[in-house]
């Protein structure tokens, strides 16, 4: 039993090394905006929020942890652009005639979020927004 585990482990490492030598390409930049909201006249707060997902092309997957958000501009409270979800897909990779399942990232999602805050009437007319640039690296499935 131990020898089978070692063989599978070596096969898995071999597949990962094949993946790491495959062609990489930049994905993006893509602009993500939360939208802009203005505080209500009664002082109640408003939230600007947008979710956006990005899919790898059919013959590629995303390099793990390559996705990034750079803030371009922001105003308001509790502003952020952050990863909210990564969807992985199991693909069968071949290594020396052995089929090995490997989970790869095929889709990731970001949220852009900003709030006006609520309270003091002196803040009436305050706006909130955030704008980010999203990038990632795609890797081509090596044939």
Per-residue pLDDT of the chain (143 residues), as tens digits, is 444 433 344 444 444 545 544 688 899 899 999 999 998 877 788 999 999 999 998 889 999 989 999 999 999 989 999 999 999 999 887 777 888 888 999 999 999 999 988 776 556 558 999 999 999 999 987 75
pTM: 0.75
Per the CB < 8 A criterion, the answer to whether 108 and 85 are in contact is yes
Cα distance between residue 17 and residue 71, in whole Å: 34
**Which residues share a beta bridge with 133?**
31, 70
Residue 77: name the closest of 45, 124, 52 by CA.
Answer: 45
Q: Dihedral angle at the C-alpha atoms of 131, 127, 83, 22, nearest 10 degrees? A: 0
* Residue entry with tokens 């939230």: 47
Give pLDDT, residue 10: 40
Give pLDDT, residue 58: 87
Give pLDDT, residue 122: 54
| Cα dist from 14 to 4, 102, 110, whole Å | 15, 12, 32
């Amino acid at each position: 039993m131990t020898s089978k585990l070692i063989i599978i482990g070596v096969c898995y490492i071999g597949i990962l090394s094949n993946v790491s030598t495959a062609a990489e390409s930049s994905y993006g930049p893509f602009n993500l905006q939360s939208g802009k909201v203005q505080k209500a006249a009664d002082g109640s707060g408003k939230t600007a929020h947008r979710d956006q997902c990005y899919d790898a092309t059919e013959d590629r997957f995303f390099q793990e942890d390559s996705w990034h958000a750079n803030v371009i501009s922001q105003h308001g409270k509790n502003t952020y652009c952050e990863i909210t979800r990564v969807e992985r897909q199991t693909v069968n990779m071949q290594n020396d005639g052995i089929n090995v399942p490997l989970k790869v990232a095929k889709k990731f999602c970001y949220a852009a979020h900003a709030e006006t805050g609520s309270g003091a009437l002196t803040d009436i007319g305050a706006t909130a927004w955030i704008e980010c640039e999203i990038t990632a690296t795609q890797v081509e499935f090596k044939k």
